[in-house]
Amino acid sequence: MASQASLEKMQLRQGYRNLWHTDLTSTIRADFPFCCMALWCGPCVSYMLRKRALYNDMSRYVCCAGYLPCSGKCGESKCPEFCLCTEVFCCFGNSVASTRFLLQDEFNIQTTQCDNCIIGFMICLQQVACIFSCIAMIVGSEELQEASQILNCLSDVVYCSVCACMQTQHKVELDKRDGKFGPQPMMSVPQAQQMSRFDQPVPPSAGYPAYGYPHAPQPPYAGYPPPAYPPPAGAYPPPGSYPPPGYSGYPK
């Protein structure tokens, strides 16, 4: 029954239309100090984020946010702080995922394809590292054992990095919910150089060259003297051909 309910929630989550305020690839730029803190103090950050997600009301706490079969059966109502500490230290990955599902269900947030690829790569790399370690242990080859250790270290690095980015993503979303982004910048008078006439667009050409500005090509002989000066041969009558023969001037 619990697995069927979880499956229905997952299918419902695929139809969400809202997006995270920042995706996993942009979390470092969004809040670099918090991302570093989440990398080195993951369980503490997970505790803080879950408490913020519950609006600091620990009476609403349920183990793993109610997404696992053990939720509600661990005595959370008697000592929620201790149960949350146990969850974030003993089941760190589940605590991060539970906070993520809690925020998605509250704000109808979908996970982008890029985020799904990153999370899927992290999970697949962990599974491959585990299988590789088992094969190396069965075969007993030193080369395979060294390779499995390298693969395990790589999977741990990817796991810690992705979890830190996920928690930073959750923190940014909670900041947006709680209005902690700070005041928006107010409209201000533009600076003096922005109001200068030289920053304005050049008006269209009025038929004369606007020196110093880009303009349309001018017609031939726009300058003086024209490039064909003196006139080419044949443009005027040859010397001595005027006046014509027999011309006696105007009548008096």
Give the pLDDT confidence of 34-55 residue by residue, as tens digits. Answer: 999 999 999 999 999 999 999 9
pLDDT at 133: 86
Contact between 114 and 25 (Cβ < 8 Å):
yes
Query: Burial level of 171, CB count in 10 A (0-12/13-18/19+)?
Result: buried
pTM of the model: 0.66
- Calculate helix-pair angle for 142-178, 113-139, nearest 10 degrees: 150
Could you identify the residue written with the tokens 């999970």? 123
Query: Burial level of 155, CB count in 10 A (0-12/13-18/19+)?
Result: buried
Name residues whose C-beta falls within 8 Å of residue 108's C-beta, 6 or more positions apart in sequence: 16, 17, 18
Rounded to an integer, what distance in angstroms lies between the CA atom of residue 76 and that of residue 49?
18
Rounded to an integer, what distance in angstroms lies between the CA atom of residue 196 and that of residue 186?
22
Sequential pLDDT tens for the chain (252 residues)? 555 666 677 677 777 888 899 989 899 999 999 999 999 999 999 999 999 999 999 999 999 888 888 787 878 888 999 999 999 999 999 999 999 999 998 899 988 888 889 999 999 998 888 888 888 888 887 888 888 888 889 999 999 999 999 999 999 999 999 887 655 444 444 444 444 344 444 444 444 444 444 444 445 545 555 555 555 555 556 666 556 666 555 555
Rounded to an integer, what distance in angstroms lies between the CA atom of residue 226 and that of residue 232?
12
Give the pLDDT confidence of 129-175 residue by residue, as tens digits. Answer: 888 888 888 888 788 888 888 888 999 999 999 999 999 999 999 99
φ/ψ (deg, to 5) at 141: -85, 135
218 C-beta neighbours (distance < 10 Å), count: 12
Compute and round to an integer the Cα radius of gyration of the chain: 38
Rounded to an integer, what distance in angstroms lies between the CA atom of residue 64 and that of residue 91?
9
